[in-house]
């Protein structure tokens, strides 16, 4: 909640917010996760962000694509 309040008080743009948050995450990873494990942690973060943003998973995208093709062909 503190981050949300800071964003409102400073009237930051979406790009400023995302850039700042990504810098914090990258700094935390760089200083706390060994290099060998960092790629896997970054991949996990990406997948979690993808899902939390409400984007379709690979499985859902294939089903949607198939449904679209099936409906257009018939």
Mean pLDDT value across residues 1-7: 89
Which domain does 46 fall in, by range?
A: 2-73
Which long-range contacts link 49-56 to residues 24+ away (Cβ below 8 Å)? none
Whether the CB-CB separation of 31 and 39 falls below 8 Å is answered with: no
Q: With contact defined as beta carbons under 8 Å apart, do 41 and 29 qualify?
A: yes
Give the model's pLDDT for residue 57.
77
Residue 60 in this model has a pLDDT that exceeds 60: no
The pLDDT score that the predictor gives to residue 72 is 60
Rg of the chain over CA atoms, in angstroms?
Answer: 18
Task: Provide the domain count of the chain.
Answer: 1
Task: Give the closest residue to 17 by CA, choosing from 27, 9, 72.
Answer: 9
Between 31 and 69, residue with greater pLDDT: 31
Residue 52 has pLDDT above 60, yes or no: yes
pLDDT of 24 reads: 95
């Amino acid at each position: 909640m503190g981050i949300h309040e800071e964003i409102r008080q400073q009237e930051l743009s979406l790009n400023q917010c995302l850039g700042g948050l990504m810098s914090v995450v990258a700094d935390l990873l760089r200083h706390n996760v060994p290099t060998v494990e960092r790629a896997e942690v970054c991949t996990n973060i990406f997948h979690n962000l993808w899902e939390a943003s409400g984007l379709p998973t690979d499985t859902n995208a294939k089903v949607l694509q198939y449904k679209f093709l099936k409906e257009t062909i018939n």
